Amino acid sequence: MIIRHATTDDLDSVTLIETSSFNEKEAAKKEEIEERIRLDGSYFWLLDDNGEIIAFVQGFPTEAENLTDDMFHTAQKFNTNGGWLMLLSVAAHPLHRGKGFASMVMRRVISDSREQCRKGIVLTCKEQLIPFYQKFGFQNEGKSGSEHGGAIWYQMRLTF
């Protein structure tokens, strides 16, 4: 298994994992995923097991300090030199959940972000996932202003 970055050849696999991990209102559309990969596939970290994508984490750098709903649909706040990495998706293939694969990728994202001298990482998650992110050092900042997909989200921040 290796962790690598995405190319457009990965679009179908990433879309399948995304749509199986989030409900229809929450999941990124195939066109949105394709736009993100074309913009900069290095902000997709993929766990590849001999050509099969097992899990991935996707985000983008920005100067914004909080994750807002518009970030899920447009890349206008993308800034390669931005201090913060906003995570839009953390997902594992349904057949490979609960095996630590998403954690493996998350550790790499954290390591790469530190090496890139980011200020930290921000994400939103549902309440039941707060402990998952806390084990990496993320702090719960409470309910987010996000209404993405009609769900209640909590903003989590890992500051370096």
Q: How confident is the model at residue 80 (pLDDT cuts 50, 70, 90)?
A: confident
Domain 2-159: which CATH number of 3.40.630.10, 3.40.630.30, 3.30.1330.10, 3.30.160.270: 3.40.630.30
Residue with tokens 């409900």, as numbered in its chain? 23
Please give the Cα distance from 91 to 46 (Å, whole number).
10
- Mean pLDDT across the stretch 90-108? 94
Spatial CA neighbour of 121 closest among 77, 61, 41, 47: 61
- Mean pLDDT across the stretch 52-80? 85
Using alpha carbons, list the distances in angstroms from residue 117 to 38, 40, 81.
Answer: 24, 18, 10
Q: Which two tokens stand for residue 140?
A: 């719960």
Using alpha carbons, list the distances in angstroms from residue 150 to 49, 69, 126, 147.
Answer: 34, 11, 12, 5
* pLDDT surpassing 90 at residue 72: no
* CB neighbourhood size of 82 (10 A): 18
* pLDDT surpassing 90 at residue 16: yes
